[in-house]
Amino acid sequence: MGHPFGIRSPFGMRSPFGARDDGLAFLFAGGEEGAWYDPSDLSTLFQDSVGTTPVTADGDPVGLMLDKSKALALGAELVTNGDFDTDTTGWAGSSGGSISAVAGNLVLEVPAGDNFAEARYVATVESGKFYKITVDLIEVNVSGTSGARISAADSTNLGDTWGVTASNLSPGTHQLIVQADNTGLALRLFADNGSGVSDETVLWDNVSIREIAGNHATQSTSAARPVYKTSGGLHWLQFDGVDDFLNIGSALDLSPAAGSQVWTQAFGADSNSDTTYVYVSQRGANTPFITAANDGSTNTTIVSNDLTLNNTYVDGNLETPANQGDLHTLLEGRHLGRMEASVPSTSTFDAPQIGQYTTASFDFSGFIYSYVLVNKALTASEMSRLDAYQARKSGVTL
């Protein structure tokens, strides 16, 4: 059935998240691995970790920050019967209710005496990847306390829930963005009939599951989420110096071939000494590789038990809120914190975190305006363009 809400379908070739800032797209034009986070692009920020509630205002928490390095491209459609034009092929119902296709909608019916009905679709996915689920809720005729809701879970263990919407959804388009931790994603649509005294129904349509490319950063714990802040045309994430951090997806591959380079660069404001905002460690080993800063000074320090990336260049660029000149100095005198090392190309690495480093006493109290990590050797021209972009995002005129 066609889209009932008068908006353009989000599943075309263009990004479904609005106009995209191409400022750093050149760094990833060859398919390089990495991440590009831009707090000024509200279409990439969500208050919860599964993308149900967008960030819209100063002070909103950030539980999901989408990576723009792969242009937020959507993969192939994984639902083979999401429009219900003829039947419910591919969908399974629950024992307590029934599902049917009526006038191009999926109808969940809860008979009198039963508590809920469920329609379930299982898609084959890749563990570690992120998937964008969208569903149109057409009509709600239930009186249960949970009403209509959507859940995504491990198909082999439905108790392992990867993401869930709020209960009592209203008609409209709803989404989840979840990270798979197995190869089977079970999408579950529910109708809850709490009264159980009469037949009740919920109607759904236009169901979609597609991979959303990128190494997206999440935080499932509400108290540990940074907040979005904006003032004077600038935008940043603010970390509380206690427990705030975002995890970059575990699918991020930081195992470069011999001779390649990995650049990490984050701009922000540091209000505490010896704090950290990004780390990379060799998987299974207690060898953290950390960039830190000394209270926003021009000295960028490297804290490391063992440098574990091939020919790694790290730029940890920070500025204090009161002194934009520090950031200017860092930009003009690049590589103040550069260190290099070589390790076997077979080494593998854990995903970075932005904010607190949870396995050591490193917390971050301050701002991050922009963060980029790219697995490539940067040319002088690329470095210059990267500096200009970061300066613009941080409010510095070079």
Give residue-wise pLDDT tens across range 149-169.
Answer: 999 999 999 999 999 998 899
List pLDDT tens digits, range 83-122. 999 999 999 998 778 999 999 999 999 887 788 899 999 9
| Residue whose C-alpha is closest to residue 90's, from 189, 227, 214 | 189
pTM of the model: 0.81
Q: Measured on CA atoms in the order 313, 252, 276, 225, is the torsion positive or negative?
A: positive
| pLDDT of amino acid 254 | 55
Q: Residue 396: is its pLDDT beyond 90? A: no
Q: How is residue 191 written in tokens? A: 């109708």
Residue 103 has φ and ψ, to the nearest 5°, of: 55, 40
List pLDDT tens digits, range 164-218. 998 899 999 999 999 999 999 999 999 987 666 667 899 999 999 999 999 999 9
Q: Domains (ranges, CATH) in the chain?
A: 25-66+217-394 (no CATH), 92-211 (2.60.120.260)
Average pLDDT over residues 379-396: 80
More confident residue, 77 or 315: 77
| Residue whose C-alpha is closest to residue 263's, from 333, 357, 335, 332 | 335
**Which H or E element spans position 327?**
helix 324-332
| Residue whose C-alpha is closest to residue 319's, from 355, 249, 267 | 267
| pLDDT of amino acid 161 | 94
Q: In whole angstroms, give the CA distance from residue 249 to residue 351.
A: 6
Q: Residue 79: is its pLDDT beyond 80? A: yes
Cα within 13 Å of Cα(305), Cβ side? 9
List pLDDT tens digits, range 221-247. 999 999 999 999 999 998 887 888 888
Average pLDDT, the chain: 75
